[in-house]
Amino acid sequence: MSQRTIAEKISCTGIGLHSGAPVQLTLHPARAGTGVTFVRTDLAHPVEIPARHDAVTSTNLATTVGRGDATIGTVEHLLSALFALGIDNVRIEVDGPEIPVMDGSAGPFVYLIRTAGRFDQRSERRTLRITQPLEIRDGDRHICIEPGEGFSVDYAVDFSHPAIGRQELNGFVLNDVNYERELARARTFGFLRDVEALWRAGLAQGGNLTNTVVMDDERVLNEAGLRWSDEFVRHKVLDLVGDLALLGMPIHGHVTACRAGHALHQALVQKILATPEAWVVEGLLAPIPDTAEGLTSPIAIPA
């Protein structure tokens, strides 16, 4: 499998879910081997922040990456779409402190990537293959990863709310088709009773019924209702994919999670990296032919 970038630059605008600030996002093709890089363009001097595990600065309600004083929040939905569609190398310019929330899902980012097209590069992709089980437990919350072919997930959530209860998504196999059909449009969610506390903490400033599934004590308040009856667990799997993308390469392994979240997802990433005997990296950086998806004419992207 070859490394892949996007075929051409593409942009969108929106607001940050937690900051409420307007933001423009632009995705640029990037050279093979450079990975996914965020760039804060609104600062006096642009700051590059690699989409890597060691750049994570917070997992409070969202995943935030940073370098020095510069941070970019709510990166997980965009990273999830890039990871699922096999984009290894891309430069992401952001003129604010947070990725735009769009409709609260990864669907708009999938649309952006599909519109830009995908470009296969002359370097082979490396993959991380899990060879031994790894597990983390925190009370009744847990997450583990074990050997498997491809990347698959069993995930469960359990909320004492009539609209959610216990939901499970079992045997989900990650590929671009399954992701677009079963995960990409699942939205982030929250509870009305928590809104005032979030506002006092400076969070959820941009949240509303167009970008968040909101519930009172009994029901979903969004007029159009849910996109799936189990949209909540589907969104958790979407988040998991984005958080594990910070490993920096595709994964062969099976994840089982119950009542997990961003913090536990990142704890698993750290556990994997701290246990090198539990995995191997496959793939060589060997030249292969360039091909492009969705292009009408060739473009020059250095390999």
CATH number at residue 108: 3.30.230.20
Q: Does residue 117 sit in the same domain as residue 151? A: no
pLDDT digits (tens, 9 = 90+) for 145-193: 999 999 999 999 999 999 999 999 999 999 999 999 999 999 999 999 8
Q: Does residue 157 sit in the same domain as residue 233? A: yes
Which ranges constitute the DSSP H helices of 20-128? Answer: 76-84, 107-116
What pLDDT, on a 0 to 100 scale, did the predictor assign at position 205? Answer: 87
Q: Does residue 225 sit in the same domain as residue 180? A: yes
pTM equals 0.92
- What are residue 215's DSSP bridge partners? 191, 220
The span from the CA of 214 to the CA of 275, in Å, is 39
Q: Does residue 170 sit in the same domain as residue 146? A: yes
Q: How confident is the model at residue 195 (pLDDT cuts 50, 70, 90)?
A: confident
Q: Does residue 73 sit in the same domain as residue 97? A: yes
Calculate the CA 115 to chain-centre distance: 19
More confident residue, 299 or 261: 261
Q: Which residues are catalytic?
A: 262
300, part of any domain: no
Q: Does residue 115 sit in the same domain as residue 146? A: no
150, part of any domain: yes
Write the single-letter amino acid at 226.
Answer: L
pLDDT digits (tens, 9 = 90+) for 225-270: 999 999 999 999 999 999 999 999 999 999 999 999 999 999 999 9
Q: Does residue 188 sit in the same domain as residue 97? A: no
260, part of any domain: yes
pLDDT digits (tens, 9 = 90+) for 71-120: 999 999 999 999 999 999 999 999 999 999 999 999 999 999 999 999 99
The residue segments making up the domain with residue 114 are 2-125+285-293
Find the CATH number of the domain harbouring 140: 3.30.1700.10
Question: Which position has the token pair 């590069």?
Answer: 121
What pLDDT, on a 0 to 100 scale, did the predictor assign at position 199? Answer: 78
Q: Does residue 56 sit in the same domain as residue 160? A: no
Residues in the chain: 303
Count of domains forming the chain:
2
Secondary element (H or E) of residue 236: helix 231-244
Task: Give me the torsion for CA of 25, 66, 271, 249, rounded to 10°.
Answer: 40
Q: Does residue 194 sit in the same domain as residue 89? A: no
What pLDDT, on a 0 to 100 scale, did the predictor assign at position 61? Answer: 87
What pLDDT, on a 0 to 100 scale, did the predictor assign at position 19? Answer: 82
